[in-house]
Amino acid sequence: MMPAVAMVSILAVMCAEQERVNADSAIIQTFLTRVNDYVKLRKKALQGLPAPSHSMKRGDLLKEQQRMAERIAVARPEAKQGDICSPEIAAELRRLIGISLNSPGAEKLRASFRKQDKAPTPLKVNAVFPDRLPMPTAPPTLLINLPQLPPEVDYRFVGRALVLRDTTAGSIIDFVPDALPVPQ
Amino acid sequence: MRRIPTFILPTALCGAAALLTLAYGQPDAVFSFPLQVDSVRFAIIGDSGTGDAKQAAVAAQMVRARSQFPFGFVLMMGDNIYGGHSNADLKRKFDIPYGDLLSAGVQFYACLGNHDSENERFYAPFNMNGKRYYNFRKGNVEFFALDSNYMDPGQLDWLIQQLAVSTAGWKICYFHHPLYSNARFHGPDLDLRQRLEPILMKFSVNAVLSGHEHVYERLQKQHGIYYFVLGNSGELRPNDLRPSPQTAKGFDTGRAFALFEVTGDQLYFKTISENGQVVDSGSLPKQPTAVAWLGRAEQLLR
């Protein structure tokens, strides 16, 4: 009798775990759909602009980047923090980051964060990362555990925030405040 | 090479000025490049793009060195352009200081540092062809320029694929953030090391070059790989090195660049300060095989 009860309990736990995995998976899918929607909108907004190319004259690249950022901002004038990273998605991203930060060897990851240049960067959706400040690096262990993004978008960590950034326009697409725990 | 870190205090003379220079390790007094016909010769600079007189002084020494050691290309360890990236900035921080080398047909191959704009990858003189990471081959040496600002799974997969099919006798990876460093300001990037080093070990990468720390440091071989950190070709963080038993040689009181010559089974190097003083030199044998590290690499990759 006892083994049967134990088996039922194990199955119940497994089912609950599977439901949670499915729910997490659905949240990630929603996130990636929103990111892909951004990529489509971006593509449309940039129609007619020359794609950055290594044949461009120096200096024109900077102007093109600014032009791209402006076009994207015009295409999503109402965009605000949380549009892509809704509270539910933000919670899931924080959970994934937490897994990395609590995994074996996470001390190396935390050490990498401690070594980041501390440059205050105000975060605002559609604003461009200032090119005079050092670009925050993204530790590979975190990138491995976060959902894979299309090449037009990347993750950056600024202070404790996780930022979604347009890789060519350099603009902030959305961000998750307090994605990283308070430093010990 | 047998190197025991020791403290020496040589006095360097540059013109009429006597400069006190602190270097760690023993200089190789009899070193000279073999200058073999089929060798691969190049220079490396790191954290160079300040646009100031010190960067220009290093560049002038590079031109001077090239008259004796004709190198065909320069590897840039990142932080190629500090601050703004306007037309005038690119001119002042790259075109002008390296104008003589560019005019002579010397090519530059950049990787991105944390102070660089990602759009530098489109800047034609950096030869990145729009890519954050890329590889190219010169003679028997294949170079892998990586983007250590954003070492995502896609880049790691790409590196594994490229290293797996490489038939080059020498494989050299370079990227901005050092896996090993004894400088105080940043120190080694341990998370990057955790992810990258097993791949470098598994595929028998011979040497790894980095910048980020504004000093020069050559390390003792780590898991069969030679490591150089050179991030003082423009910027400098004086007296920032705290040599450890890992340190084979260090220089943290002046700017520097390095020259490399790779022949069949030897890598020759010479690191030169902005005053023309040789602060490190020597030759390193090609590592016989990575078999000794394969088990450890597989373990780390799991």
Q: List, for residues A94-114, the tens digit of each pLDDT value.
A: 999 999 888 777 777 777 666
Instruction: Compute how many other C-beta atoms are within 10 angstroms of the C-beta atom of residue A6.
Output: 10
Higher model confidence: residue B77 or residue A120? B77
Asked if the model's pLDDT at residue B229 lies above 60, the reply is: yes
Q: Is B26 exposed, middle or buried (0-12, 13-18, 19+ CB in 10 A)?
A: middle
DSSP letter (8 states) at residue B38: T
On whether the CB atoms of residues B252 and B270 are closer than 8 A, the answer is no
Asked if the model's pLDDT at residue B8 lies above 60, the reply is: no
Nearest to A134 among B86, B114, B130 (CB): B114
| Cβ-based neighbours of A61, under 8 Å, separated by 6 or more | A52, B85, B119, B122, B123
Minimum Cα–Cα distance from A140: chain B residue: B151
CA-based nearest distance B18→chain A, Å: 35
Instruction: Compute how many other C-beta atoms are within 10 angstroms of the C-beta atom of residue A75.
Output: 15
Query: How far, in Å, CA of B23 to CA of B256, rounded?
Result: 12
Mean pLDDT of all residues belonging to chain B:
89
Query: What's residue A103's pLDDT?
Result: 79
Confidence of residue A152 (pLDDT cuts 50, 70, 90): very high
Class of domain B36-275+285-301: alpha beta
Which tens digit of pLDDT belongs to each residue from B258-286?
999 999 999 999 999 999 999 999 999 99
Whether residues B123 and A108 touch (CB distance < 8 A) is answered with: no
Query: How far, in Å, CA of B261 to CA of B281, rounded?
Result: 11
ipTM > 0.85 (yes/no)? no
Confidence of residue B140 (pLDDT cuts 50, 70, 90): very high
The residues in B 145-184 lying below 8 A from A, measured between CB atoms, are 148-154, 156, 177
Query: What's residue B137's pLDDT?
Result: 98
Which chain A positions have a beta carbon within 8 Å of B211's beta carbon? none
Please name the helix (run of DSSP H) or strand (run of DSSP E) that holds residue A34, with its range, or none.
helix A2-45
User: Stretch B223-240: mean pLDDT, rounded?
Assistant: 96
Long-range CB pairs of B55-59, under 8 A, 24+ apart, other chains included: B55/B93, B55/B97, B55/B233, B55/B234, B55/B255, B56/B96, B56/B97, B57/B255, B57/B274, B57/B275, B58/B233, B58/B234, B58/B255, B58/B256, B58/B257, B58/B274, B59/B97, B59/B98, B59/B100, B59/B101
How many whole angstroms from its chain centre is CA A128? 16
**A65 interfaces chain B, CB cutoff of 8 Å:** yes
Please name the helix (run of DSSP H) or strand (run of DSSP E) that holds residue B24, with its range, or none.
strand B23-24
Query: What's residue B39's pLDDT?
Result: 97
Which chain B positions have a beta carbon within 8 Å of A108's beta carbon? 190-191, 193-194
Residues above pLDDT 90, as percent of chain B: 77
Which residue matches tokens 């491995």? A144
User: Stretch B51-77: mean pLDDT, rounded?
Assistant: 97
Asked if the model's pLDDT at residue A40 lies above 90, the reply is: yes
Choose the weakest-confidence range: A32-36, B25-29, B150-154: B25-29
The sheet with strand B247-251 has its strands ordered as B7-8, B23-24, B247-251, B216-219, B226-230, B207-210, B170-174, B141-145, B134-138
With b meaning 16 or more CB within 10 Å and e meaning fewer, what string describes B41-74?
A: bbbbbbbbbbbeebbbbbbebbeebbeebebebb
Asked if the model's pLDDT at residue B3 lies above 50, the reply is: no
Residue ranges covered by each domain of chain A = 2-48+56-176
Which residue matches tokens 């993204």? A138
Instruction: Compute how many other C-beta atoms are within 10 angstroms of the C-beta atom of residue B162.
Output: 16
Query: What's residue B135's pLDDT?
Result: 98
Minimum Cα–Cα distance from B157: chain A residue: A144
User: Stretch B212-226: mean pLDDT, rounded?
Assistant: 96
Alpha-carbon distances, residue A157 vs B33, B35, B189 (angstroms): 44, 46, 16
Residue ranges covered by each domain of chain B = 36-275+285-301
Whether residues A111 and B119 touch (CB distance < 8 A) is answered with: no
CA-based nearest distance B288→chain A, Å: 30
Distance in angstroms between the alpha carbons of the first and the last residue of chain B: 32
Query: What's residue B117's pLDDT?
Result: 87
**B122 interfaces chain A, CB cutoff of 8 Å:** yes
User: Stretch B43-56: mean pLDDT, rounded?
Assistant: 97
Whether residues B194 and A105 touch (CB distance < 8 A) is answered with: yes
**B85 interfaces chain A, CB cutoff of 8 Å:** yes
Which among B116, B122, B237 is the top mutation candidate for probing chain A, defined by the most A β-carbons within 10 Å of its own β-carbon?
A: B122
Query: What's residue B2's pLDDT?
Result: 40
Query: How far, in Å, CA of B169 to CA of B156, rounded?
Result: 21
Asked if the model's pLDDT at residue B185 lies above 70, the reply is: yes
Higher model confidence: residue B41 or residue B23? B41
Mean pLDDT of all residues belonging to chain A:
85
CB pairs under 8 A between A and B: 108
Model-level pTM? Answer: 0.86
Whether residues B194 and A141 touch (CB distance < 8 A) is answered with: yes
Which tens digit of pLDDT belongs to each residue from B83-118?
888 888 899 999 999 999 999 999 999 999 999 988
Asked if the model's pLDDT at residue B292 lies above 80, the reply is: no
Minimum Cα–Cα distance from A156: chain B residue: B150
Asked if the model's pLDDT at residue A6 lies above 70, the reply is: yes
Residues above pLDDT 70, as percent of chain B: 85
Whether residues B195 and A52 touch (CB distance < 8 A) is answered with: no
Confidence of residue A126 (pLDDT cuts 50, 70, 90): very high
CA-based nearest distance B45→chain A, Å: 19
The torsion defined by the Cα of B21, B23, B26 and B29, in degrees rounded to 10, comes to -40
Asked if the model's pLDDT at residue B218 lies above 90, the reply is: yes
3-state helix, strand, coil in chain A (%, to 5): 50, 10, 40
Which chain A positions have a beta carbon within 8 Å of B86's beta carbon? 59, 62
Asked if the model's pLDDT at residue B291 lies above 90, the reply is: no
Which among A61, A110, A114 is the top mutation candidate for probing chain B, defined by the most B β-carbons within 10 Å of its own β-carbon?
A: A61
Confidence of residue B6 (pLDDT cuts 50, 70, 90): very low
